[in-house]
Structure 1
Amino acid sequence: MIRKRGSWGEGELYEALCLLMICGCLWIIGIQFQVFSSLNAFIHANDLSNAFMLVALMGLAVFAASLRKSLLLRVAMRERDITAAEAEAVARHDVLTGLANRRLFLETLERRRAAASLVPTQAVLLVDLDRFKPVNDIYGHAAGNAVLCAVAERLSALTPEGGLAARLGGDEFALLVPLDGGSDGLSRLAQAVIASIAAPIQWQGNELKVGATIGIALISADQADADVVLHAADLAMYQGKKDGRGVFRVFKSAMDLELKARAQLESELREAIANGEIEPFYQPVVTLPEKTLVGVEVLARWRHPVRGLLAPASFIGIAEETGLISELSMKLLRQACLDARDWPSHFQLAVNIAPQQFQDRWLCERILAILTETGFSPSRLEVEITETALVQDLEAARTTLTSLQNLGVRIALDDFGTGYSSLYHLRELKFDKLKIDRTYVDTITMSAERAKLVDAIIKLGASLGLVTTAEGIETDASVDWLSDQGCDYGQGYLFGAPMPKEAITALIGAPVEEIQAKALALQAA
């Protein structure tokens, strides 16, 4: 703490005492050598009493002024040193949590890396919080700060002697720890950190819950610098995110190769979207039991110049993580609307909207702009959403869905039966269609339990006035069973895999036998 100007610290008192001792010594010396007696006699002999008193007072004043100046200078120097120390501490510590910041962590890590041998004796644990963003979004930044401070306290309590806990920024923390307990001790520490952070945090009567994913990198002499170590821990943490979160992973060299490959694919994806290399393919949707072709579902295919035709599983996840999904979806929708303009007026077009897109308050306007631009009727468009979009923000989804339905667009709940709150969403939101997930459909003729579930979904849809579509149909036996239960529509490889515009155009109006024959031919090709 900085002392107030004018107060005396140990240094000022010491200096004043030194000055007084010097004056006392001079006084004793003067008495010992009779300097003052001679001076006194001289003053009386020459009648200089008043002048001497004046000189003495002036000397005393000069002494007092010098002493005051010296004391003020010392106080200023102490204030400067304290302020510099506090500034240095602030520059190396996180203001919110009090933990070391990235700068101090990297400096400490670099010192220990430079002193390391080829056999690791230290490790870095990179801790990234899971489900932190919803806390900020739902409860506000004050709650988010409370979570960060609580996490910091828990990490500090778990940091072993000789270790360092740091907040690197945002919701990312790190530990620098010695390997006293070997790999087993490191695993126990990582598990303890995950369990500790997962414990609820009480805040203003609410239980705030977050999780943690940890990446671990061992420190050895063959690493170039501290950034390389931290990058390795980051790669391991990213692998933990891919493996389901709430876990820890130790860095392996293969992770670096995988990340470089992913970064390359991401770069290529950006160029592909900009260059129109990703195009819509169409999977037939037929009526049951007639098997009449009445519409298609739009599915993305990437004509990669080296890898060939890529299915969505190869790139849609990356598009969602990087925020490219909105641009990609809108381009696919625009091209699909242009392709479908020349198809029969009753022909339906179903498109998938990613959960992230429902965070865009202008989504409805963007879709309307494309429909207006292409001249495609809203009544022919069907938007498919999954329950993930609803879980993220139910009110935002409700607003968007209502706006789309007011335009005449129909809404389908995709992958029904895989979510944990489907009945709740059916009650809260108005849908036009249920799509029964393929994991139920492909086993209905082999599993009585699955058949009962599909039958229940079909009856539930009918009782709510909703039509149903079964996905993943591959056999005639499944078609017959679904038709008997009252399922309205079907799609699957039995009627055709996703195909380009030219192929689907050739199927429109064709008899069911021809549709199935062409579907088989396309699959064989």
Structure 2
Amino acid sequence: MNKNVLNAVNTFPLADSRGIVRRTLIAMIVMISAIFVAVIVTLFSIANTLNTQADLQNKHLILKALHARQESIRSHLDDNANWGEAYTNLHVRMNTNWAWVQQNLGSSLYTTFQLEGVFVLGPDDITRYSVISGHLSHTSFQNWLKVPVLPMLHQKLIESGGKAISQFTVVDNTLVLLAAAWIETGSDNTIKPVPGPPSIMIFVDRLTPAKLRAMGQDYGVVNTHIHTHARQVDSDKREYGFPLHTGTGFISIEWTSANPGGALLTWVLPSLVFLFFATLFLTLALMRHAMLRARVNDESTFLLEQGRLALAASEQRFRDVAETTSDWIWETDDKLCFSWISGRFPVITGCPQHEWIGRPLTAFLLDSHSIYRLTQWASSTSVGSHLSLIQCLYFSPDNQPHFCNLVIKKVKKSDGRPGFRGTANDVTQEVQTQARMRYLSEHDELTGLPNRVQMRQFLDSHSLNQLTNNQQIAVLTIDLDKFKPVNDLYGHSVGDKILHDVSARLRECMPENGLVTRYGGDEFIVILPTVEGAHEPERLSDALLSRLTQAFHLEDTDVYIGASIGIAIAPQHATDANDLLRYSDIALYQAKHDGRNCWRLYHPAMEEQIVQRRELENELRVAIHANQLQLVYQPRYDVRTGKVTTIEALIRWQHPRLGLLTPDQFIPLAEDTGLIFQMSDWVLTTACQDAVEHFGSLSVAVNISAIEFRVSGFVSRIHHVLTTSGLSPSQLEIEISENTALSDPERVTDIMLSLKSIGVRFLIDDFGAGYASLSYLHAFPFDGIKLDKSFVIPTDTSENARRVVENIVGLGKAFSLHITAEGVETKEQQTYFESLDCDALQGYFIGRPVSLGELKQHLSRQTASEGDGRLTGRRN
């Protein structure tokens, strides 16, 4: 019988004879194990009893040794303290000569009795005499012992009537035996006691580890010691102990046990274990012989039954696999006609089984290449050969395409004729997923436009460096203007719809040979093959801008956006795809810089401008932290009071290379790069601090960029500046441009109302130069307007300019706004605007922007200048 058969026999129960033998074997093993367990438990109990008895005896012996030590020290103390001469020389007066020199209470107490300390304390508890370790000393008892035991000793002496008492205590992890007694006259009747409290004699016996071991050994106890956490104990030693009361609590006296129980276990337990395994081995050997005999009788019956069960299990397994697998299994004759199909066939394919029995496999498949391979293989292969066909096409009854993988094997059937068997695995979802992945790898999922991968393939296919016959390739990079506010205001779902509509409009404008791609976000790239000298890129850009500026219709509103376009052409500008894309992006940047909603054709000078702009950006970052920014102040003249009531803070940049720069040279850059926030914080803080320190009750006006109203935290920043500087909110004026509120009117209104509630005032700066309207003045809570100087300057020569100014001033007065005329440069202009009932004037005639120091000088001369309404002389 081979090994596999034996293993199979062991896997299943045999006839009753083996079961009886097995149960008998188990019962005998359990009985023998129970006997040996009982013996071992008894052995451990005896060992524990022996150890307990030995430990109790050792405890009694150690206590006896300690009591003997106490009796001895009390006896020596009583001999020395209850003595007339000691009373006279230690209590009545302290005679050191008698005690030390004559050795009545000297070093012999240490050399003979190992008393480390001998002390005489006066009635006032002051140490009058001390011998420490056999040497005369002047150390006090309390300082030497380091444990406050005097109150306890006094109490015990009172209880004993002054007779010698003893007490254990612990000092520095050492057991110390103290003995104390009153010094008395004893039996000497010739000495008359003096009145007052008695003196005390104290003996100190430090029971060092050596002394404790010696005491224990005298009584047959090994390694007597007190317990400490730091003490290392050998792992093979058994420690035992008991608590001992001391004056400061309890300590543990321990010793190394003789461990008679361990010795018993050491000798007896191995013998018992050996005897147990020997008995068990003998039992198993006897039973094994019986089991082998029983196996011979049962094997024949078992093998027959096993064969039957294996056949039934194999048939059931095949049925289960065929009906539950994700594949469907089939069999054909030598003509490839189906003779059997598993039950999974209709579930997976949707085709009834009975309709395909007898029909050829080639009729099921619709892929001509797969059919050809199958027929060629079937006619030429031998029995046992395999064939795999991947992604074979077939249609379901509802005429939907499906795909499957076929594995086919040529076999010899039971009747001796050849046939074919195989499996079919449906991979329709896998094929569709791969097709979807290929589509997504080359297309934008949202708009359906080709993505940057297909764009690069398109550029590579046109071989930019080999363009001939006046061929050109134009790349148009398109970026949507005002798209982010639409996303923020209406949500990303509306933004996605607009992007989808934008892609549709781009397709409408494109010729057939062009390509529209979504590059990412709201950026699109158009590639247009054209001919040299043609203006198709420019015409296409105009058409795209015209189409994209038209309204995008939503359910309840129309949304308007724009676009900026940058154009680069190969081979005119570049023959490398990366350079061509980069140049079109540079042209796009120029279009945005020139006001957006326009197109620009790349020129090499644009790249140089960008480099310069980036250098200036880096220098501006340094300037904010390197004290290169400075403020100048321009006064505003109040017509009614005839005084300067407000100072406007204006920023300048003292550039180390370019000299003094005005705001129009760097503020747009700061807004584009986000540096405007740091710069604005610096201007607000500096202007408010200067106003508090130098302007008195005058107000200070600060220009704020429209960008700062689009970011949260503006109100808290103003509060912080006012709090840290100490400036009253009513002294702060904020000037904003007319287009500040256009992007988010509700947000701007909330910010203005929040700050106006604490007293901050708001003015429209450069009124008339932007998008001002009647509804604008009515909708926002402004306190005043500043008429742009472009209206002021022409009033000297133009009657039309005067009519426009008069209408604007009248409009402002109608809205109860404070009117300031900017750009007043002549006395005639001052007189004219005063006649129009303007509230304030500002300009070079009133006062130029000057440094803080110059402004302070001008303010000091304000009274002298009030007569002609200005702080400085006219310009020369």
Q: Are 1:88 and 2:438 matched, yes or no?
A: yes
Kindly state the Cα deviation for residue 173 of structure 1 after the two structures are TM-superposed: 0.6
Distance in 2 (CA, whole Å) between partners of 1:116 and 1:13 is 39
* Alignment correspondent of 1:454: 805
Which residue of 535, 543, 549 corresponds with 1:192?
543
What is the 5 A alignment of 1:314-333?
Answer: 314-333=665-684
TM-score, normalised on structure 2? 0.52
Alignment of 1:33-72 (within 5 A): 55-56=414-415, 60=419, 63-64=420-421, 66=422, 68=423, 71-72=424-425
Q: Which ranges of 4 or more aligned residues in structure 1 deviate by more than 4 Å?
A: 4-9, 23-26, 57-60, 78-82, 512-521
- The answer to whether 1:349 aligns with 2:700 is yes
Q: For residue 226 of structure 1, what is the aligned residue in structure 2? A: 577
Q: Which residue does 1:268 correspond to in 2?
A: 619
Distance 1:54 1:178 in 2: 66
Paired with 2:369 and 2:574, the residues of 1 have a C-alpha distance of 53
Q: Distance in 2 between matches of 1:391 and 1:284?
A: 30
Partner in structure 1 of residue 453 of structure 2: 103
1:113 CA displacement = 4.5
Which residue is 2:783 aligned to? 432
473-482 vs 336-345, which moves further: 336-345
**Structure 1 position 365, deviation (Å):** 1.1
| 2:477/2:584 contact within 8 Å kept | yes
Counterpart residue type for residue 112 of structure 1: H
- Give the letter for the 2:367 counterpart: G
Aligned to 2:360: none
- Indicate how the Cα distance of structure 1 residues 13 and 239 shifts in structure 2: closer, same or farther if over 3 A, else same: closer
Question: Which string of whole-angstrom CA distances, capped at 9 and with x for unpartnered residues, describes residues 363-418 of structure 1?
Answer: 11111101111111111111112221111111111111111111111111222223
Q: Report deviation, 1:127.
A: 1.2
CA contact (8 A) 2:648 2:702 kept: yes
CA distance in structure 2 between the aligned counterparts of 1:429 and 1:211, rounded to whole angstroms: 27
CA contact 1:415–1:436 (8 Å) conserved in 2? yes
Residue identity in the other structure for 1:244? G
CA displacement 1:405-433 (0-9 Å, x = unmatched): 11111111222223434321322222222
The residue that corresponds to 1:11 in the other structure is 367
Give the distance between the partners of 2:654 and 2:373, measured in 1 at CA: 88
Is the 8 Å Cα contact of residues 472 and 570 (structure 2) preserved in structure 1?
yes
What amino acid does structure 1 have at the position aligned with 2:462? Answer: R
Q: Map of 1:397-476 to 2, 5 A cutoff? A: 397-476=748-827
Write out per-residue CA displacement over residues 7-63 of structure 1, whole angstroms, 9 at most, x where no aligned residue: 86523995499459946999xxxxxxxxxxxxxxxxxxxxxxxxxx97239965xx2
CA contact (8 A) 2:464 2:473 kept: no
**What is residue 210 of structure 1 aligned with on the other side?**
561
**Count of residues in Structure 1 that have an aligned counterpart in Structure 2:** 487
CA distance in structure 1 between the partners assigned to 2:488 and 2:862 by the alignment: 53
SS state at 2:742 partner: helix
Letter in 1 for 2:415: A
String of CA shifts for 1:171-217, please: whole Å, max 9, x gaps. Answer: 11111111148432222222111122222222224322222221110
Equivalent position amino acid for 1:10 in 2: L
Tell me the amino acid that sits aligned with residue 414 of structure 2.
V
Structure 1 pair 114–185 and aligned structure 2 pair: CA distance change class (3 A): closer
Q: Say if 1:20 and 1:104 are closer, same or farther in 2 by CA, change over 3 A.
A: closer
Query: Which residue of structure 1 aligns with residue 638 of structure 2?
Result: 287
**TM, length-normalised to structure 1:** 0.84
RMSD of equivalent CA atoms: 3.1
CA distance change for structure 1 residues 344 and 319 in 2, over 3 Å: closer, same or farther? closer
Matched, 1:240 2:591: yes
Distance in 1 separating the partners of 2:442 and 2:492: 23
Check conservation: 2:465, 2:575, Cα contact below 8 A.
no
The 3 A distance-change label for structure 1 pair 473 and 110 is farther
SS of the residue 1:388 aligns to: coil
Q: Which moved more, 1:345-354 or 1:104-113?
A: 104-113
Partner of 1:40: none
Query: Using the alignment, how far apart are the partners of 1:175 and 1:354 within structure 2?
Result: 35
- Indicate yes or no: 2:519 matched with 1:168: yes
The corresponding residue for 1:490 is 841
The CA deviation at 1:123 is 0.9
- Confirm or deny: 8 A CA contact 1:106 1:227 kept in the other structure: no
The aligned counterpart of 1:313 is 664
Say which SS state the counterpart of residue 508 (structure 1) adopts.
Answer: helix
Tell me the secondary structure at the aligned position of residue 236 of structure 1.
helix
Q: C-alpha separation between the residues in 2 aligned to 1:357 and 1:194?
A: 29
Q: Is the 2:475–2:581 contact (alpha carbons within 8 Å) kept by the matching residues of 1?
A: yes
Report the 3-state secondary structure (helix = DSSP H, G, I; strand = E; otherwise coil) of the residue aligned with 1:335: helix
Counterpart Cα distance in 2 of 1:13 and 1:108: 31
Measure how far apart 1:443 and its partner are. 1.5
| Maintained 8 Å contact 1:199/1:209 | yes
Unaligned runs of 5+ in 1: 27-52
Tell me, yes or no, if structure 1 residue 139 matches structure 2 residue 513: no
What SS does the aligned partner of 1:191 have?
Answer: helix
The residue type paired with residue 707 of structure 2 is: Q
Q: 1:54 to 1:361 in 2, by over 3 A?
A: closer
Output aligned runs, 1:250-265, within 5 Å.
250-265=601-616
CA drift at 1:484: 1.2
- Any conservation in 1 of the 2:796–2:829 contact (CA below 8 Å)? yes
Structure 2 counterpart of 1:304: 655
1:113–1:220 contact (8 Å) kept in structure 2? no
Higher relative contact order, chain-length normalized (CA < 8 Å, sep 6+):
1
For residues 406 and 79 of structure 1, what CA distance do their matches in structure 2 show?
A: 64
Percent identical across equivalent pairs? 33
Residue 6 of structure 1 deviates from its aligned partner by 4.8
Residue matched to 1:387:
738
For 2:458 and 2:413, the matched residues in 1 are separated by 63
Partner of residue 33, structure 1: none
User: Which of these two proteins has the greater Rg computed from alpha carbons?
Assistant: 2
Distance 2:493 2:580 in 1: 33
| Cα shift at 1:255 | 0.8
Query: Helix, strand or coil for the counterpart of 1:444?
Result: helix
Give deviations 1:209-241, integer Å, cap 9, x for gaps: 222221110112883632211111111112222
Which letter maps to 1:108?
A: F
1:371 equivalent among 722, 745, 750: 722
Structure 2: stretches of 5+ with no match in the other structure: 1-346, 351-363, 383-411
Aligned residue number for residue 36 of structure 1? none
> Which is further off, 271-280 or 287-296?
287-296
For residue 120 of structure 1, report the CA deviation from its aligned partner.
5.3
Deviations 1:262-309 (A, max 9, x none): 111111111112323222211111122665222211111001111111
Q: Aligned partner of 1:252: which letter?
A: H
Match of 2:511, SS state, is coil
Matched AA of 2:456: L
The counterpart of 1:112, out of the listed 462, 470, 478, is: 462
Q: Is the 8 A contact 1:113 1:226 kept in 2?
A: no
- Describe the SS at the equivalent of 2:693: coil
Q: Which deviates further from its counterpart, 200-209 or 509-518?
A: 509-518
SS for the counterpart of 1:121 is strand
Separation (CA, whole Å) in 2 of partners of 1:511 and 1:20 = 111
Single out whichever of 342-351 and 296-305 deviates more from structure 2: 342-351
Partner amino acid, structure 1, of 2:452 = R
More helix by share: 1
Q: Taking structure 1 as reference, are residues 25 and 433 closer, same or farther at Cα in structure 2, changes over 3 Å only? A: closer
